Structure 1
Amino acid sequence: MAFTAHSWKSNERSFPLAALLRPQVPRGNYLHLLEEKQRLQLKKFLLHRMFLVANIQANMEKKEIAEYHDQVFQSILKHHLGEAVTGLLLIYPTSVLHILESSSGTLHQILLDYFNHERGETEFWVQKMKIVVISHNIPTRLFMQWCVSVVKVPVLYLDDMTQSQSLEEVVTDFFIQTHKLALYLFKTVKVGTKGPGDSLYQTAPDLLPPEQIIKYLCKSEEFMDPATFLNMYDKPMYITSDSELVWPAPSSF
């Protein structure tokens, strides 16, 4: 009996050391995987891509629009941590298509700036802005810089796609066209240059969405405006579970 007790005490004392000597299986989680991807790509935040369409006042100067956005981007990066903004702004005669790539906080601040100007100014140059889509956690950027291009000569189409196709078909064709345009710019525009300039309607007319599509998307009720999106974004999330519901409701006697 003494030998048995001695052996049990010896095993009890050696158990912590034996546990430390056992091979440990490395365990990770999905957050660590995403952080490692960000580190390898030299990114501090997850990237998101946002498509905006809006009507603008007629005869708006490209320089005025570009300076407005440059000031907004610089102010946001100065006061908020986030990724730099890349993308493309197409300026049509009376509308714009804006594709933005950045971190969620930066995109939120851009929408907030639009909203504050629209609410505070009676004649803000941006009108009826709609968010077509926001793609979260994109693997890589399609645009290496942010650039502006003016579509000087509108392309005329004999068939109006908005009359013969459903909204889903119009949006699908719109995304296919803009994706092809992004790939074209990715291959042809060198980093550090001024971008494609105002000759896109000559070099790649088939890749430019017609302005009638942009205006059609601005009128669609299915897409959110910045005010609706920001209200939903800032609203605290609270989900009532079934276990919190009691029926009949408790009452005091």
Structure 2
Amino acid sequence: MEKDVLSSSREASEEDTGTSLYHQRLAHRKQRWPNDEMKFLLHRLVVVSGLPPGLADRQTVGDHYEKFIYSQKRSRAGEDVTGLLLLYPQHALHVIECSTEVLLSVIQDLTHMQKTPDSAVMLTPRVLLVSHDISSRLFQQWSFTLLKDGRLTVNSDEQSCETLVIQTLHQLLRLASHLHTAGENIKECKEIPEEVLQKSQLIPPQTAVCRLVQMEALLSPVQYLDTYHSPLHQLLDSESVWPAAEHSSHSLNDQTQNDG
């Protein structure tokens, strides 16, 4: 009996201190940023997509994610969700900063949209970037904005995929800095006022977002989930043999011909 109690106590102690990579990451962050939120690892997801052609009101997309994030916050107390949803006339760009569980829920929601396009609020979504275990947030809250037609156009056809992705991410970084400076004007405001976004050069142009959506090199949510759930292939010791099977086959054939 005493042995069982000691064993249970030891297991509880190991669970509290943590020996997994997850616990090591948390311990590392606690040392570097002692005042930062420590209940979960923080990740950032950047997604681009098209909007349904027959969408009557783009506000529907903002309302969908506002309800979605509210539901995630209720079910996971203490796990804040921040980010920005840019709604162009025909496309969308979404940045979301959240925990591992919320990140997976967002991807699963996009996967459902990808598989049921008739009822989806976002079409042909592409994962532009996933940053794991980030040190800080770019956005103070989650919000969205409706961008006017014809205000954001630039020729991006001649840019390479890599250049366009990097340029888009740099623009998002500068936009986040601009919104941080204007924080008092948008505090607790789910829809960002138009006057806050007067510097349109900070916003990735719709033509760039359109081209990113068309890039097959970027993973779809379904492809990302398949990769996420796929086990890593580890080479076993039994597979590390010498000579290689192909080399052995050729050697055996050569020896057979010589014997013949």
In structure 1, what is the equivalent of residue 99 of structure 2?
103
CA distance in 1, matches of 2:227, 2:123: 20
1:199 aligns with 2:194: yes
TM-score normalised to the size of structure 2?
0.74
Q: CA deviation at 1:81?
A: 6.8
Q: Kindly provide the CA deviation profile for residues 77-115 of structure 1, in whole angstroms up to 9, marking residues without a partner as x.
A: 344577221000010011001011111221111110121
| 1:181-196 matched pairs, under 5 angstroms | 181-190=175-184, 192-194=187-189
In structure 2, what is the equivalent of residue 176 of structure 1?
170
1:152 aligns with 2:148: yes
CA distance in 2, matches of 1:244, 1:81: 47
CA distance in 1, matches of 2:129, 2:197: 28
CA distance in 2, matches of 1:71, 1:196: 14
- Matched residue SS, 2:94: strand
In structure 2, what is the equivalent of residue 140 of structure 1?
136
In structure 2, what is the equivalent of residue 220 of structure 1?
215
2:114·2:124 contact (CA, 8 Å) conserved in 1? no
CA distance in 2, matches of 1:77, 1:173: 32
Which has the higher Rg, Structure 1 or Structure 2? 1
Runs of 4+ that moved beyond 6 A: none
- Matched residue SS, 2:28: helix
Flag structure 2 segments of 5+ consecutive residues without an equivalent. Answer: 1-22, 246-260
CA distance in 2, matches of 1:111, 1:88: 16
| Aligned positions, number | 219
CA distance in 1, matches of 2:82, 2:238: 46
1:93 aligns with 2:93: no
CA distance in 2, matches of 1:193, 1:65: 19
Between stretches 220-229 and 108-117, larger displacement belongs to 108-117
Aligned sequence identity (%): 25
CA RMSD across the alignment: 2.7
| 1:41-56 matched pairs, under 5 angstroms | 41-56=36-51
1:82·1:105 contact (CA, 8 Å) conserved in 2? no
Between stretches 192-201 and 79-88, larger displacement belongs to 192-201
CA distance in 1, matches of 2:172, 2:46: 10
Q: Kindly provide the CA deviation profile for residues 138-159 of structure 1, in whole angstroms up to 9, marking residues without a partner as x.
A: 11111000001010133254x6
Flag structure 1 segments of 5+ consecutive residues without an equivalent. Answer: 1-28, 249-253
- Matched residue SS, 2:134: coil
1:131 aligns with 2:127: yes
In structure 2, what is the equivalent of residue 13 of structure 1?
none
